[in-house]
Homo-oligomer: A and B are copies of this chain.
Amino acid sequence: MQLSDTTPSNVALVGVGTVGAGVARLLTEQADRLARHAGRPLRLTRAVVRDVARPREVKLADGVLTDDLASVTGDESIRTVVQLVGGLEPARSIMLELLEAGKDVVTANKALLAEHGPELFDRARELGRSIAFEASVAGGIPIITNIAQCLSANEIQSLHGILNGTCNFILTEMEEQETDYATAVAEAQRLGYAEADPTLDVDGSDAAQKLAILAHLAFGARVAWHEIPREGVERIEPLDIHFAAELGYRIKLLAVAELMSEGLELYVSPQLVRRDAPLAEVHGAYNAVRVVGDAVGRVWFHGLGAGQMPTASAVVADLIDTVVGRSAITFRTLELWSQRPPRVSPRDHQQVESRYYFRFSVKDDSGVLAEIASVLGRFDVSIASVIQHETGEEGSDSVPIVLMTHKTTEGAAQRATAAIDQLDAVRSTSVRMRVAD
């Protein structure tokens, strides 16, 4: 039997930024390795960029670099295209043009999929083409293939992901270097882990976009990413990191999807994770996903969530899957933006239950704790433990009170803390975080 074919498969690249250069490097420098896995050589025929004159960190063969997309769409020998243009436009138009031209597409553009996934997937299905997108979520961790293929015997019951490396780096930095939020953000920017404007990372939007993709894939949900309730890490203070540690926890920004009989709970929020739990051992720019399936039980995946070569690793795996024909098979049966009716509805976020960590900044006065406890009691929020140290900060008349609650609903927790924030003895807005199971 023939083990390999020597006819190369022509592939093209659209967009040669950081990840694109990494993909080009693997295609040109590791050709033998890729040919082994693809059963035939992969030949990078075209790399389309806006400005061919700009210097690139990767050396391409003469004639490969071009600014003419038509040299790809018009070339029938090119069947597979890696599309790495960021943002929404012209990324969307290019993707549609490639599909119309009969190309199977590989992309890492999570924002594009989160925003225009239904349109792009519908069109690909109509045209009998495939879209592969492993690199769009969790960088080097092959979470898409694991959910769509490896765990296909399971009903997925929950997903807990650390999906934003910027936030995880910031939280790790605040804990390990004992710095405040602003200093940690500056360090993340200096090291290239955060953009000049990190808003979409730190406010939870990026994680919500990734969660939307995973939740569609795993649960057949139909939720737009911007409808996912989300909180970011901007309000976390060193004090919270300390109290969490004192209680045996670390703070992590978690993206959560959990199937309950009342519907699918979906949200992004900072949470206290027990220090001995695998998700608590995810440091710096790493990402991780914990999946619970009804047959497999708990499975964890943990790796680099971003960066040139980890992302290129995922893109090239998709490229090989597409060239050998696995992507076409998988794409046909994906739950993601399929035309099937949704299998689950989201649960009312106010009803989502959790234990909570509350921190109040209060006047250093006996009796305040009793006042707070009485408000909590009114909202049926029951206290599990309290930390109130003897003295507050020097030169300040306010002291922190930290409470851990028993299970309560998001709605009750919101209403109770809003009421407590109105008390005369309370100095500033309370901090409220979920405690992970």
Interface residues of A, Cβ cutoff 8 Å to B: 1, 3-4, 22, 26, 30, 33-34, 36-39, 125-126, 128, 134, 140-142, 145-146, 149-155, 276-278, 281, 293-304, 307, 309-310, 312-317, 320-321, 324-326, 329-330, 332-333, 335, 338-340
Contact = CB atoms under 8 A, between A and B. Distances in A.
Contact of A278 (B302, B304, B316): B302
Contacts of A276: 281
A304 B297 contact: yes
30 contacts: A1-B125, A1-B126, A3-B339, A22-B295, A26-B153, A33-B153, A38-B333, A39-B333, A134-B150, A142-B146, A142-B151, A149-B320, A150-B317, A151-B313, A152-B316, A152-B320, A153-B313, A276-B281, A278-B278, A294-B309, A295-B312, A295-B313, A296-B303, A297-B303, A297-B309, A298-B303, A299-B302, A299-B303, A301-B301, A301-B302
Given A299-B302, A310-B296, A333-B39, A3 B338 contact: yes
Contacts of A281: 276-278, 281
Given A145-B149, A145-B150, A313-B153, A3 B340 contact: yes
Contacts of A151: 142, 313, 317
- Chain copies in complex: 2
B152 A317 contact: yes
Given A296-B310, A297-B307, 19 more contacts: A1-B125, A1-B126, A1-B128, A33-B155, A140-B296, A140-B297, A141-B299, A145-B149, A153-B315, A153-B320, A281-B281, A296-B309, A296-B313, A300-B301, A300-B303, A301-B301, A324-B329, A326-B326, A326-B330
Nearest to A280: B281
Contacts of A134: 150
A320 B309 CA distance: 31
Nearest to A309: B295
A403 to B, nearest CB: 28
A421 to B, nearest CB: 37
A44 to B, nearest CB: 14
Contacts of A338: 3
A153 B42 CA distance: 12
A316 B295 CA distance: 10
B1 A317 contact: no
Given A295-B310, A300-B300, A142 B152 contact: no
Contact of A335 (B36, B155, B295): B36
Contacts of A293: 313
A175 to B, nearest CB: 13
Contacts of A149: 145, 317, 320-321, 326
A140 B299 contact: yes
A333 B150 CA distance: 18
A314 B150 CA distance: 7
A335 B35 CA distance: 12
B36 A3 contact: no
Contacts of A37: 152-153, 333
Contacts of A317: 149-153
Contacts of A155: 30, 33
Given A3-B332, A33-B155, A304 B313 contact: no
Residue of A295, A301, A326 with most chain B CB atoms under a 10 A cut-off: A295
A49 to B, nearest CB: 22
B153 A316 contact: yes
A47 B173 CA distance: 56
